Structure 1
Amino acid sequence: MEFSQSDNNNLPLTKFESMLKTNHVLFFDSEEFENIIHYYLNQGKIALAKKAIKLGLEQHPSSINLKLFNVEIHVFENNLDAADSLLNELYRLEPHNEEIFIQKANILSKQDNHKKAIAVLKHALDLTEDVVDIYSLIGMEYLFLDAFDDAKTYFMKCLEQDIDDYSALYNVIYCFDYLEQHQEAIDYLNIFLDKNPYCEVAWLQLGKQYVSIKKYKKALAAFDFAIISDDTFVGAYLERGKVLEKQGEFVEAIESYQITLELDDPTSFALLRIGGCYEKLGNSDLALQYYYKTVHEDPLLDKGWIAITKFYKKKKNLQKALYYINKAINIDAENVNYWKLYAQINQSLNFFEEAERGYKKALELGNFELDTWITRGDLLLKLGEPQAAIFNFEQALEFYPDNAEIQYRLGGLFFTIQERDKGVYYIKNGLKNNEEFSFIIDELFPKLLANEQVTSLINSKS
């Protein structure tokens, strides 16, 4: 028997905790100790579990199950040698106890020896009639090996034994998704639903598979069946809303999202999607209202702040857009999307120094997109910082070594600072990679059009 906080039969647990407070040792049978330890482990109260194991073994020194709990604690605390040593002792006492093999596999798994762990677990299958948990463990070991077909097979075996094992169902679909076997997943789910027609989770997964292959009408039908199976299933309403959005049915999508707000606490995702639908319907007031609700519900959701900022950016209200992106950056200064948007707005406002700072920060945070490098470099050139621009473009070449747009810019910059050999080198490389981008010299370095060496280089290819 397992205890819970509301369990009326938790007298042994109450008695045990009372004993700990009084230091007055009381007797418990071994099964009571097992239930107490199991409860503490489920609650994550490891110190209390260890006390119960210690007292349990003092009162029942020959209990294999209590010793196995001791092994479990050692494995949890990564004392793998001690755990292995205890298991070897237990194996000599009970060589046919499947739990010994399960814990042995657990140790092997922690040591990244997943193939051996699978072999040990398969041996455990021969020792027990309760195979579901072992099938699941084997499936997880195959996942560690990226052997998704084998993992899928064992999670399917779990479902053959227990059709309500939703964890196994999710893992089966995860394997199908990883292997991009969407049609196979659909076939499997349809067979599964023939046996379990009111499984809302399976209907939801079926709908998502239809979305993957762009069969939106079938997806909607599947989500509707999920809702028929459980009309409080928030996930089905959300997925249904997303599909309706894809089909341009924004009013119906809003209705689907609104139901989730009535069924449960508002989610920032639903609020954001409702705002997006209202914006597409041209209802700016309601769109903005829901975007504000989104960031109020979850100030850390970047998509909410980005939606508000882009809303004002589209309306050409750049000062308000800047206000909200600054607000977002104050909340999360490490969000690369915020800095990119910050840079773009400042650039539109002709605040070039702030724009350059934004692109620089985006690069520092790992946004190595080509346009980020190029736009920042062009801003540095506009700000009269050719050396900084050169350094920027040289870094960019490490990511885009054959990019003509970068090479022309470097060529022009080196001519500007009188390093002509390097200028020639980069312009030649630019011409070699893409002649059509030679207009970059005209646009960014118009003074070089009077340089015979530069014009000769460009004209030689035309």
Structure 2
Amino acid sequence: MEEDFEFDSPEEQKFSVDRYEEMLRNEDQYFFDTKAFESIIDYYISKNDPIKALQVIDYAIAQHPFETLFIIKKAQLLTSTHQFELALEALTKAEFLEPSEADIYLIKGTIFSTLSEHELAEENFMKSLELSENPDEVYYQIANLYQIQGFYLKAIENLKMCLNINKDNQEALYEIAFCYDVLGKHEESVQFYLQYIDSDPYSFAAWYNLGNAYHKLEQFAAAIDAYDYAILIKDNFSSAYFNKGNALVNLDRYNEAIEVYKQTFEYEPPTADTYCAIGECYEKLEKMDEARKYYKKAVKLDSNQSDAWFGIGVTLDFEERYFESLHFYKKALEIDDENPDYWFAIADARYKLKQYDQSIEAYGKVVELNPTDVEAWLDYSSLLYEQSHLQEAIDVISEAIKCNPDDALLYYRMVAYLFAAGKYNDALNFLDLALNIDPEKNYILFEYLPQLQGNQVIIDIIKKYTNNK
């Protein structure tokens, strides 16, 4: 006879597991009631051993063939191991035995959602919703289905329904933030979390997501306040410390940011991202030795941390150690060769090393990757001009204007190049265009070509625009 246990403690679970494993060793057949089997199954699931858990379920079904619970657990495990056909077969059997069990349709919906059978998934979720006594998880899964299809407003509606039933559902709180973020509705996100906090002021997750929404709106002081409340409620909330550090950086409060980043180390092991963030703060403070120390810590933890390799290069560049900086810029580029900032730094370093052809090539890559980088276009064309490639400089600025038609700096630079090329009528036409966009920036023309200050035609045209403003 099996002893009469309540299977709700670790000791009692261990007794059941030991007895089950003894049965296997003895190649015998012991009887277990449903609670004992459930406890054994949960034990192997907690050990992340689905194969043994499924083996227990098969024993359980053999002894309790009409117990739907075991068939549903089998379907859940088969689903988690992507054995969807077998899972659906098990659910068909469970549905025959107990057609009013909501979990059957919830699992079916999850499977069909994974298989991109969206209509079947929704149909099963809705059936589960009708039958479920605790439908918050169903609403959550429906929201996931809508997210997969890109219906983010519908997803938000269902996530809110989930939270109305279970306000402690942390996943739903974070998913709402994600949906608002994808939609770019950061103001609505702020309003939602403010209302949520009114009903649950001690929700650290709500304060954290509120902080993130303020951050996206570039309301950094408000974001810091929200992160502080999240930390007050949960003092080991390392993500809140990290994001607070980011907000402080955006306010140029680098010393404070460093201290906040370092506080994360009290609650979780240091990460490459945090070391890199600290390094960037020291870099902004022009404490290059400290910056380099933290960038090196970052790459030691994660050799694929491209920003840290780049940061080391920046610190060396600041110290005019251009050849060394180039080495580290190239290390960053090996990891992320589509990053225009890395190419820009390489172009600049090669220019300083008088490697002009390679610098020109790198600038070409910068503007290919980021055609809205006006500074890169200007430096690119300037280098060509310095190397007596005047027509190429004109062609580059012409392309830059196509990509940035409203930037006056490009037009003024074109005026300078056209005058240098002796194309005076074209130059005056571009001068008109530049003055139409921003007459106050006309000084840029003379900074680049001071000799034009004595050109009376240019002076008269500029006066016409500036006197009318």
Bin for the TM-score computed over the shorter chain: 0.7 to 0.9
Q: Report whether the alignment pairs 1:102 with 2:106.
A: yes
Q: 1:250 aligns with which of 238, 248, 254?
A: 254
Q: 1:139 aligns with which of 127, 137, 143?
A: 143
SS of 2:131 mapped into structure 1: coil
* Partner of residue 405, structure 1: 396
Q: Which of 168-177 and 46-55 deviates more?
A: 46-55
Deviation of 1:232 after TM superposition, in Å, equals 2.3
* Partner of residue 282, structure 1: 286
Q: Which of 350-359 and 47-56 deviates more?
A: 350-359
Letter of the structure 1 residue corresponding to residue 96 of structure 2: R
* Partner of residue 239, structure 2: 235
Please give the root-mean-square deviation of Cα atoms over the aligned residues, in Å: 4.1
Tell me, yes or no, if the aligned pair for 1:105 and 1:116 is still in contact at 8 Å: yes
Deviation track 1:143-172 (CA, whole Å, cap 9, x = no partner) reads 112111111121112222222211110011
Query: Aligned partners of 1:151 and 1:375: how far apart in 2?
Result: 47
- Aligned counterparts, 1:37-436, within 5 A: 37-325=41-329, 335-337=337-339, 340=343, 341-342=345-346, 345-351=349-355, 368-369=369-370, 405=396
Deviation track 1:65-90 (CA, whole Å, cap 9, x = no partner) reads 22223333444454544443443333
Letter of the structure 2 residue corresponding to residue 120 of structure 1: N
Query: Aligned partners of 2:267 and 2:289: how far apart in 1?
Result: 25
Q: Label 1:77 to 1:405 Cα distance change in 2 as closer, same or farther (>3 A).
A: same
Q: Label 1:51 to 1:169 Cα distance change in 2 as closer, same or farther (>3 A).
A: same
Deviation track 1:244-269 (CA, whole Å, cap 9, x = no partner) reads 22222222222222222334322323
Identity of aligned residues (%): 26
Q: Label 1:293 to 1:107 Cα distance change in 2 as closer, same or farther (>3 A).
A: closer
- Aligned counterparts, 1:18-37, within 5 A: 18-37=22-41
Q: Label 1:407 to 1:288 Cα distance change in 2 as closer, same or farther (>3 A).
A: closer
SS of 2:201 mapped into structure 1: coil
* Partner of residue 455, structure 2: none
Tell me, yes or no, if the aligned pair for 2:139 and 2:158 is still in contact at 8 Å: yes
Deviation track 1:13-33 (CA, whole Å, cap 9, x = no partner) reads 233334334433332223322
- 5+ residue gaps, structure 2: 1-5, 385-391, 400-410, 431-469
SS of 1:209 mapped into structure 2: helix
Q: Label 1:75 to 1:378 Cα distance change in 2 as closer, same or farther (>3 A).
A: farther
Tell me, yes or no, if the aligned pair for 1:37 and 1:52 is still in contact at 8 Å: yes
Letter of the structure 2 residue corresponding to residue 119 of structure 1: E
Deviation track 1:344-396 (CA, whole Å, cap 9, x = no partner) reads 53454244687689789x79xxx74459999999999xxxxxxxxxxxx9xxx
Tell me, yes or no, if the aligned pair for 1:186 and 1:209 is still in contact at 8 Å: yes
Tell me, yes or no, if the aligned pair for 1:242 and 1:253 is still in contact at 8 Å: yes
- 5+ residue gaps, structure 1: 381-392, 394-402, 409-433, 450-454
Deviation of 1:286 after TM superposition, in Å, equals 2.2
Query: Aligned partners of 2:98 and 2:315: how far apart in 1?
Result: 69
Tell me, yes or no, if the aligned pair for 1:3 and 1:39 is still in contact at 8 Å: no
Q: Which of 300-309 and 311-320 deviates more?
A: 311-320
Q: Label 1:272 to 1:368 Cα distance change in 2 as closer, same or farther (>3 A).
A: closer
Q: Label 1:439 to 1:187 Cα distance change in 2 as closer, same or farther (>3 A).
A: closer
Query: Aligned partners of 1:343 and 1:268: how far apart in 2?
Result: 27
Query: Aligned partners of 1:221 and 1:310: how far apart in 2?
Result: 32
SS of 1:254 mapped into structure 2: helix
SS of 1:299 mapped into structure 2: coil
* Partner of residue 383, structure 1: none
Tell me, yes or no, if the aligned pair for 1:405 and 1:437 is still in contact at 8 Å: no
Tell me, yes or no, if the aligned pair for 2:13 and 2:39 is still in contact at 8 Å: no
**TM-score under structure 1 length normalisation:** 0.73
Deviation track 1:186-220 (CA, whole Å, cap 9, x = no partner) reads 12211211222122221111112112222222222
Tell me, yes or no, if the aligned pair for 1:53 and 1:66 is still in contact at 8 Å: yes
Deviation track 1:30-75 (CA, whole Å, cap 9, x = no partner) reads 3322333344345432221221122222222222222223333444
* Partner of residue 12, structure 1: 16
Deviation of 1:318 after TM superposition, in Å, equals 0.8
Deviation of 1:282 after TM superposition, in Å, equals 2.9
Q: Label 1:27 to 1:212 Cα distance change in 2 as closer, same or farther (>3 A).
A: same
Query: Aligned partners of 1:99 and 1:82: how far apart in 2?
Result: 17
Letter of the structure 1 residue corresponding to residue 232 of structure 2: I
Deviation of 1:110 after TM superposition, in Å, equals 2.9
Query: Aligned partners of 1:194 and 1:7: how far apart in 2?
Result: 43
Letter of the structure 2 residue corresponding to residue 110 of structure 1: T
